[in-house]
Amino acid sequence: MKKLRKKIFGCAPAHTVFFGPGRKEFHPKKPRPGIEHYILEAAKDSVAQVKNPGALDQGVVGNFMAARFNRQAHLGALLPEACGELLHKPCMRVEGACGSGGLAVIAAANAILSDMADAVLVVGVEVQNTVKAMYGADILAGAGHYSRQRKDGHVYFFPDLFSRRAGAYYEKYGREDTRRAMAEWYAQAIENARRNPKAQEFHNADPDPRATAMTEPNAKAFLEHINVFDCSKVSDGASAVILASEEGLANLGVAKSDAAEFAAVAQCEGNLARDPEDPARLDTTAAVASKALAMAGAKPSDLGLLEVHDCFTITGLLALEAIGLAEPGRAAPYLLDGKARFDGECPVNATGGLIGFGHPTGATGVRQVGDMVMQLTGKALDCQVKIGDARPYAMSINMGGDDKTLVSFVLRAT
């Protein structure tokens, strides 16, 4: 396994509020910020944290479907508006479904590793509350193999794909404990989001989220194997982070103590034209996790913080098994024993994850990296977890489509 040929650091993380149903101030019939607002807010917030923005060499925007949700493409060219120092410097937008944010970070890392840049501004963004849910589901179906799957697919396309995965998992490993673990995942997401003022579920005051999440799935109203609480919500928002070499950090005027070091940068691709061989397993997630851990020289037991792509609660369980924190079929006891809790042996999604913080699709991969930087520099405020010497690594998993585009990063404190 190749190691990184030079050191890369993440610094200056920034998030907007992740906005949508669940926020008290959200109202579907009232005017809401557009995509340009979110790009500018996150980018300006990030750039304001460095002393010398002129040291930025490039910019990258991660986004999935702005051309359809917002009728706005060409997002890279908005970065000079957010940061004048990027005028006449390379900027671009990258796409990989819900893994677009992770791919944007990959693009920045590759620019640094190839010596084409020493400091790169990365922004992930999506604004999805612009269309009715039925139309949004069709737009998001573009993350699947549309020509093959959409014609006969459920109106709620992606929830149905992961409902099928949940059904396969129930059949293989048992339903009762799995449903309890999925409810536990939801409850932990809500509890963590309540510590995070920018989270979509920050205002969630449900006195018993575990009981709520145990609502029995109803195929006539939604889907056979999952309920609406098993799903991340439609979200608007953006996140930003700056990647830099050692020289880039110095040029930006950022101290190493205000940055986290990348130990691994990994990406794996599945076959979009094929359905999973075993729906109860995330094969491409397992591949990218193995690749990232090998590059970092780490084991699952070395992880002190995990950011996983819990677009659905069942995806969270499957990810724990794919990473190797739990054996196949054993994610339920891992969760129910409290190992993934905020104060557990490996806290998972400490700021709420996709279900709690929100899931603006193109922003998620960048948000995960930004949150890991905050945690490893001790700047996560009420969301701060303890990362000790015994488990010094933080790891993220960002997924595009149904386990098709996978990006993983492993970071450590400087």
Task: Enumerate the active-site residues.
Answer: 98, 359
Helix/strand/coil (H/E/C) assignment for every residue in the chain: CCCCCCCCEEEEEEECCCECCCCCCCCCCCCCCCHHHHHHHHHHHHHCCCCCHHHCCEEEEECCCHHHHCCCCCHHHHHHHHCHHHCCCCEEEECECECHHHHHHHHHHHHHHCCCCCEEEEEEEEECCCCCHHHHHHHHHHHCCHHHHCCCCCCCHHHHHHHHHHHHHHHHHCCHHHHHHHHHHHHHHHHHHCCCCCCCCCCCCCCCHHHHHCCCCCCCCCCCCCCHHHECCECEEEEEEEEECHHHHHHHCCCHHHEEEEEEEEEEECCCCCCCCCCCCCHHHHHHHHHHHHHHCCCHHHEEEEECCCCEHHHHHHHHHHHCCCCCCCHHHHHHCCCCCCCCCCCECCCCHHHHCCECCCCHHHHHHHHHHHHHCCCCHHHCCCCCCCCCEEEEEEEECCCCEEEEEEEEEC
